[in-house]
Amino acid sequence: MTSSSEELVVARGIRKDFVQEEKTVRVLRGVDLTIRRGEMVCVVGRSGAGKSTLLHILGTLDLPTEGSITYEGRDVTQLSSKALAAFRNRTIGFVFQFHHLMPEFDALENVMMPGLIQGSDRTKLRARARALLEEVGLGHRLDHRPGELSGGEQQRVALARALVMEPALILADEPTGNLDSKTSEAIHRLFFQLNETRGTTFLLVTHSADMAQRMPRVVTMKDGTIVADQRKPEGFRPLDTLGPTPDEPASASGACAAEEE
Ligand SMILES: Nc1ncnc2c1ncn2[C@@H]1O[C@H](COP(=O)(O)OP(=O)(O)OP(=O)(O)O)[C@@H](O)[C@H]1O
Ligand SMILES: [Mg+2]
């Protein structure tokens, strides 16, 4: 991809301390990370290494104790909270362990929500949300509220919601953690296809060895620092690590098609 040399996010000297019962817990101890536009990066490491904390900070949901986060050269830690919220809604899609779906809205409305907040065209938004829910295998659950969905189904709704605004960056914390292997593969395929067709940048935290093997770049964290940053050889194509497309769900084409409607 010609634009791959563009830096999308640059984190410099990130430290994060939490103070608990007068004791300072040093969770991030100086993290430097540059993610280029169109990259697919996964973060691995033991439980407690600081992966989720780093993802929150990169996603501008939490401030570092020290250090800077710049998006395309702009230091977002300096933005007002209102400007930051607008920036976040436009630029980043989140898929977190706790997916925060809105209980009083059905699956379709939850997926549409980021667009409703932005004032997007409802008809187009509805079509895109529906197509994405079909992609993740939930075309038959559009009008179910979160309380009427299984944990894995709720996670897939959250995924569709993260994708609906076609953000430049997807930050995902164990996006397939609670899913069976077939559904996980379908989600991986969707991510890889979005990356190829739209150049969407992905930063994923995972405990899945399968996922890490398929990712072009793997960053390893230990005790609040990055201890390894490995790239697969030039020309590595994540989609090639998956078998042929199954007859059933999981192609990004439906989501693309929705755009034209
Ligand atoms: N608000 C907080 N106050 C105090 N300590 C915290 C806080 N949030 C996280 N920590 C501590 O920071 C460390 C890193 O947490 P983090 O959630 O980033 O780990 P992780 O690498 O994502 O782990 P996991 O793989 O289990 O999700 C943990 O030891 C955790 O107890
Ligand atoms: Mg975590």
pLDDT tens string 104-118: 999 999 999 989 988
Which pLDDT value is given to residue 256? 43
* pLDDT range class, residue 259, cuts 50, 70, 90: very low
Which residue has 């995972």 as its token pair?
206
CA of 49, closest atom in ligand 1: 21
**Structural domains of the chain, ranges and CATH numbers in brackets:** 37-64+79-260 (3.40.50.300)
pLDDT above 50: residue 10: yes
Neighbouring CB atoms inside 10 A of 15's CB total: 16
97: pLDDT strictly greater than 70: no
Task: Provide the residue type at 24 as one letter.
Answer: T
Residue nearest to atom 16 of ligand 1 (CA): 50
The DSSP call for residue 146 is G
pLDDT at 246: 65
User: Phi and psi (nearest 5°) for 81?
Assistant: -65, -30
Q: Which two tokens stand for residue 243?
A: 């078998």
Extract the tokens encoding 37. Answer: 């536009």
Residue nearest to atom 12 of ligand 1 (CA): 27
Least confident residue range of 41-45, 112-116, 223-227: 112-116
Ligand 1 — pocket residues by CB below 6 A? 18, 20, 25, 27, 45, 47-53
Name the band, by pLDDT with cuts 50, 70 and 90, for residue 252. very low
CA of 224 to the centre of ligand 2 (A): 12
Choose among 234, 193, 175, 226: nearest CA to 4. 234
Tokens of 8: 């999308």
Contact at 8 Å (CB) between 163 and 115? no
**Distance from Cα 206 to the centre of ligand 2, integer Å:** 9
Distance CA 125, CA 109 (A): 10
> Which ligand number lies closest to the CA of residue 220?
1
Mean pLDDT of 178-199: 85
Contact in structure between 174 and 44 (CB atoms under 8 Å): no
pLDDT score of 101 more than 60 = yes
Residue 5 binned pLDDT confidence (cut-offs 50, 70, 90): low
Residue nearest to atom 17 of ligand 1 (CA): 52
The protein residue whose alpha carbon is closest to atom 4 in ligand 1 is 18
CB-proximal residues (5 Å) to ion ligand 2: 52
Residue 3 has pLDDT above 50, yes or no: no
Task: Give percent above pLDDT 90 in the chain.
Answer: 57
Q: State the distance from the centre of ligand 2 to the C-alpha of 84, rounded, in angstroms.
A: 23
pTM of the model: 0.85
DSSP for 29-89, written as a single string: EEEEEEEETT-EEEEE--TTSSHHHHHHHHTTSS--SEEEEEETTEEGGGS-HHHHHHHHH
